[in-house]
Chain A
């Protein structure tokens, strides 16, 4: 009898544990913690910071505008590298590649841009976006218990996020995507969470590939609701052919 009672209790405990959270409940808590509602009430976001790659430190500014516009500008020794996306079309300018003319993005790049540009975040309204999200279990990250959420995009991209089970912020993310048909993986680690206007953001983002840190991003300033004209996101006109290729 005692054994039966015990097993019954165990079943209840186990069931309770496993039922403790569904995907949507976890996300609801996560949204509450990060101030999703406040974020949705804003319309633009400007971020300043630096990207650190090995010994290089590259200052950048990025611009987000609802619902899905994005622009980033970075500078390396005076050379301006920029890219933009207006919700449908994307472009980039990289003088390091020998041209200051904008290059249109490929379909694959545009699809990825939809992750980056998504103002409300990857997980908000994920069903409407055609994503599936499943809770694949719990795992410890550095002795912190996390919920492991696996998001799959129609393109086949798989993004697995480890959400702190106590504080409901993402601690890390594994991204598995195909680039030009080749599968690549990256790990992104989030820290230095701070609120601005009651919206929580990770001010430090580290990216690893094959276990090695390849990039660190440090945010210095986030400003919401700054005036950003739509033209910022459109592909700039190609300037007249430059004659400066000839040395004078």
Chain B
């Protein structure tokens, strides 16, 4: 009986597993196969960095934790970095190296500079192999971790300072401790559900002593509060079993954010930077028994929520650094401060992380809103690490230039334009700064190539002239002198998709201009809730007022005019309204209440009118600022009367933006806080796209109208581009269930490689270019493992031109075909000849057949090559180039063949004459051999030394060949006459060789035969070509 129960249970288990299997999506990330994004940066201005730790014994090993751009490891002191956290959330609050074992690193996710655009983490991770694999150790709901401290005397004992939710209350905050390497956690300090630990410090000479800066704070979409009864400095002397609140000074009133640090030189000295109504720096020199106010100077007290941070020098007891808006330093224990920038200081302000080498306090790593800097002279001068592509974009736009440009604005790093491809890649210097402040929308004028619009925070819209660099401020003003226009921190700007002269901007009203912002027409009433309680930004900040426009609220946040009907315009607001007009703004309908399942006042993050149908639109709502991380994605097909949710459980966390393909309406891209999701069936199933798109916040995406690239603005990993999404458009059930399907491809434009010299060292990020070869793409149902698989290219005569290794991945595969003949067959002794002949001529334009051979099956497709019209070459010139190049090619092969015959015969003569007794014959064989050697040495250089300067006939022809091959237009007259000349020279050699192989060899062979010796046979052309 028992056995039956076991069996039944077992069967039930299996069944439930199978059932689950049946319900799971048929799509997985692997169906995208080799499709992946390329990263184009920029790293010229990088992104916010909050945490740095280096290995004390060898600080060339350093880990950099970016606010929303992942964790980066350098083993060479910052010359190069490698991302080591790519499979996990990209927001890093804290990183700590176990100084006893450098392979053991701890990471706390979720940044803790609680700004409006803060990213959300998911707990603590640990690696025991230098970042190769990470183990998730829980504390998911802490969301933000400010510090991790490993007990140097027992490295399984680790403390985690958890800030907790920024946008709401929760219990999972305070100080946590593990004593078993992260298997279990104890919350050892908790004040209340609105108070987190903002800073934690350990006395490394006595690890039982710790201080914790507890912070009572809260952020809402429209306000921020720093300070409350929960705030306070806490101290334990028994490794966290008991904590006492430290009474730093009387009559301080309510406290805000507190930073605390021990002097590493003399741990009796403790610094505390305490936010209060009168924020000040305090110092204790008696292990915390008594405290003295050292200063309340503004440079120290500035903006505590962002800059509450102090770093005592590890060598000099009296030296103390205060990174913040700027960097200041004290040499008298915090009493007075001055700039350490003696000879330099060209660094980004807003500094959050400073690591000082404990063995050499001149060496530093500094993390700022603009990336990483390094100093070797005690902070006097700095090197910017231009190799961290962690820039934080808010928006992205593209233009229609040949090789298009990408536009976007960066958090605290202005507005930028950069190319989508460059010579050898996209360098930092390819990016141009076009605007200052925090950058958001940067949009090229669709009808004037000289104009770009950009903005800085709070709706400050600019018209920028590329040729002169002049800027004209063009934001709208209210027509009512008493009224204030409310512009979001990230004010929406949109161009009409139907009329390139029309631009929209949103405050609480929607404005429209038809003259580039010189005048504006208000085309809506206040579309927001206009809630006065949410408009008290001048009171925002709590103890320290902080009104930077970051909390501006009750504003329009997203605008979209229908590409199918210009009278339909959508507007979504940050306070949760979604409104639409279908009469060009005459009347507006609030459709918010038609959407079910969404809490009131949930931020409307994106509305996008469909490219295919006037009544269809998509809307994304983002509730994370209300502490709600659910996914809200909706679609209407009746102009907002009814809405269907497109959210599925496969999407991990809240979404920020959506983009609909303009070709296939069922292909949608969803940008979320944790990466990119794609649906190919209109939103029934979503699958995360993992091909080099990490779990980074995605703020906006655009599909290039002619290149079909998906261009992604990430807030933390710069711009990512997925080139040519055509294969995604074509994925149908039929294709997905086929063994292999070749996708049709756009004609490939034959281009010559471009070269540039610029060896800027290894400390520079280079963005990747798109693939430069012709691409054969196909879908394959399963990974190919067993048996033959290759790709063959045939010309229109059915001749096999090339066999290429196939892509073997499950899903989408790409095979690159360089569209060149094999290089001319030469026998180079000198590397110069080898290099000059290394490439074959390109194949002529036309249609080619692709055959993918997989086992017994053959799949056929076509690929078309075309010439590049942008070169402007005449067809007859290109034909001449083709013909001349191929003549040179043939001549090189002929010379090599004749040379081969010469050396072949020479060797054979030399061998054969050993057996010859007749002096006469021997002499004539020697004489011929010598002539052949001479010919060999005249035909091709024989020294391997590339600087020998040896130039023979083959080298001369190769010089012409390599000159012609790099230019697709008309060859020079000199090249053509040179080729003619050398053809004549060669013909003479050939004639000589023919004579030798004819009469001379015949005579020698007949004599050899007479001596019963083997006749000499010289390699034939056929044999040579096969060899």
Contacts and interface: CB of A to CB of B under 8 A. Distances in A.
Given A78-B834, A79-B944, 15 more contacts: A9-B6, A9-B10, A52-B805, A78-B829, A78-B896, A98-B831, A98-B946, A143-B782, A143-B783, A164-B785, A191-B783, A192-B788, A192-B789, A193-B786, A204-B805
Contact of B831 (A79, A193, A216): A79
Nearest to B811: A142
Interface of B: 5-6, 9-10, 13, 28, 30, 75, 82, 692, 782-790, 805-806, 808-811, 818, 820, 822-823, 825-829, 831, 833-834, 837-839, 896, 937, 941-946, 948-951
B13 A203 contact: no
B810 A142 contact: yes
A192 B828 CA distance: 33
A15 interface: no
B377 to A, nearest CB: 27
A25 B294 CA distance: 69
A79 B28 CA distance: 47
B5 A5 contact: yes
Interface string A5-16: 110011001000
A120 interface: no
Most buried by B among A78, A95, A96, A171: A78
A77 B950 contact: no
A189 interface: yes
Given A143-B30, A242-B943, A95 B829 contact: yes
Contacts, number: 120
A143 B820 contact: no
B777 to A, nearest CB: 15
Most buried by A among B783, B941, B950: B783
Closest 8 CB pairs of A and B: A78-B827, A77-B834, A247-B950, A244-B942, A142-B783, A191-B808, A55-B818, A142-B810
26 contacts: A5-B5, A5-B6, A5-B9, A9-B9, A55-B839, A57-B822, A77-B838, A78-B828, A142-B30, A143-B28, A164-B785, A167-B785, A169-B785, A189-B808, A191-B783, A191-B784, A192-B788, A193-B786, A203-B788, A204-B789, A206-B805, A216-B805, A244-B942, A244-B950, A247-B948, A248-B937
A183 interface: yes
Contacts of B949: 247
A55 B820 contact: yes
A244 B940 CA distance: 12
Interface residues of A, number: 47
Contacts of B937: 248
Nearest to A212: B768
Contact of A96 (B28, B783, B834): B834
Interface string A50-80: 0010111100000000000000000011110
Contacts of A192: 784, 786-789, 808
A245 interface: yes
A99 interface: yes
Contacts of A169: 785-786
Given A5-B6, A191-B789, A77 B837 contact: yes
Interface string A30-53: 000000000000000000000010
A242 B833 CA distance: 19
Contacts of B951: 247
B831 A96 contact: yes
Most buried by A among B785, B825, B949: B785
A211 interface: yes
Nearest to B819: A55
A76 B717 CA distance: 40
Contact of A191 (B692, B785, B896): B785
A116 interface: no
Given A77-B834, A171-B785, A192-B788, A143 B944 contact: no
A129 interface: no
A115 interface: no
A120 to B, nearest CB: 23
Contacts of B823: 77
A13 B11 CA distance: 12
A194 B787 contact: yes
Most buried by B among A6, A13, A244: A244
A186 to B, nearest CB: 14
A100 interface: yes
B788 A183 contact: no
Contacts of B941: 247
Contacts of B942: 244
Nearest to B809: A142
Most buried by B among A140, A191, A203, A246: A191
B788 A194 contact: yes
Contacts of A214: none
Contacts of A248: 937
A77 B805 contact: no
A144 interface: yes
Contacts of A242: 943-944
Contact of B943 (A9, A78, A244): A244
A240 to B, nearest CB: 14
A13 B10 CA distance: 9
B6 A98 contact: no
Contacts of A151: none
A159 interface: no
Most buried by B among A143, A189, A211: A143
A173 interface: no
A235 interface: no
Nearest to A247: B950
A165 interface: no
Contacts of B6: 5, 9
B787 A193 contact: yes
Contacts of B790: 218
Nearest to A167: B785
Contact of B948 (A5, A164, A245): A245
Contacts of B834: 76-79, 96
A30 B42 CA distance: 46
Interface string A171-203: 100000000000100000101111000000001
A245 B945 contact: yes
B828 A77 contact: yes
B502 to A, nearest CB: 43
Contacts of B783: 141-144, 171, 191
Contacts of B822: 57
A98 B944 contact: yes
Given A52-B805, A77-B837, A95 B787 contact: no
A189 to B, nearest CB: 7
Nearest to B803: A218
